[in-house]
Chains A and B, each alone.
Chain A
Amino acid sequence: QQQVKQSPQSLIVQKGGISIINCAYENTAFDYFPWYQQFPGKGPALLIAIRPDVSEKKEGRFTISFNKSAKQFSLHIMDSQPGDSATYFCAVRITGGGNKLTFGTGTQLKVEL
């Protein structure tokens, strides 16, 4: 049972463009929504995270938009750079679930010059 659905599976964006990755969930008991960035051969690195009492969070070029009623959240990367080329994972945490994370299937982003 897939608790979080991530799309698209892959994405190609021109340098300077906006990259948008989406995640949808079904369980309303989730209370924490992080995004991780992973480069080949490395562990995931926490990028940005949001809690459901906030609709948007921005850190530098990265923004999370959260739509509680639609049960969706998305990552926006502004002014995308070739160094942003990586795999991005959304994740969810269930309330009272011991802080374990359930991850999406990932989006492979390539930023072209």
Chain B
Amino acid sequence: DTGVSQDPRHKITKRGQNVTFRCDPISEHNRLYWYRQTLGQGPEFLTYFQNEAQLEKSRLLSDRFSAERPKGSFSTLEIQRTEQGDSAMYLCASSLATGNYEQYFGPGTRLTVT
């Protein structure tokens, strides 16, 4: 399967703990995006990378959130000192930087903060 993959698929953590999620994009895609989706809502943009450069961050991305894409391939999203309001589905998507704009999403990581 050459689609976008995410790990883990589910994460339950206690409030105050740190969590890290991983995304592996489609191999030839140089853009990678993180979105957050809460129940009953559409995905909301968090941040995106072109290769290893983080080009934009949403104001939704508080200072407890950090994302990296060190070698321009996989990416990690870390949430420090988790809060109950962080409970959501975290989605990763990837696309080419030129040509068509099609973004392909992974299956998401469901985070539950207790």
Measuring CB to CB, which residues of chain A are less than 8 angstroms from any residue of chain B?
A: 6, 32, 34, 36, 41-46, 49, 89, 91, 93, 98-106
Chain B residues, Cβ within 8 Å of A32: 101
Within 8 Å CB of B48, what residues of A? Answer: 98-100
User: B residues near A, CB below 8 A?
Assistant: 4, 6, 31, 33, 40-45, 48, 55-56, 91, 93, 95, 97, 101-108, 110
The total number of A-B Cβ pairs within 8 Å is 60
B43 closest partner in A (C-beta): A103
Check A105–B42 contact: CB distance below 8 A: yes
Q: Can you offer 8 A-B residue contacts whose CB atoms are under 8 A?
A: A34-B103, A41-B107, A43-B108, A91-B42, A98-B48, A99-B31, A99-B101, A101-B103
Contact in complex: B42, A46 (CB < 8 Å): no
Please, how many angstroms separate the alpha-carbon atoms of A106 and B6 in the complex?
A: 23
Q: Which residue of A lies closest to B55 (CB)?
A: A98
Q: Which residues of A contact B42 (CB under 8 A)?
A: 6, 89, 91, 103-106
Q: Are A45 and B43 in contact (CB under 8 A)?
A: no
Q: A43-B108, A102-B45 are in contact. List 16 more A-B contacts (CB 8 A).
A: A34-B101, A42-B108, A43-B4, A43-B93, A43-B105, A44-B43, A44-B105, A46-B102, A46-B103, A91-B42, A99-B33, A99-B48, A99-B97, A100-B33, A101-B43, A103-B43
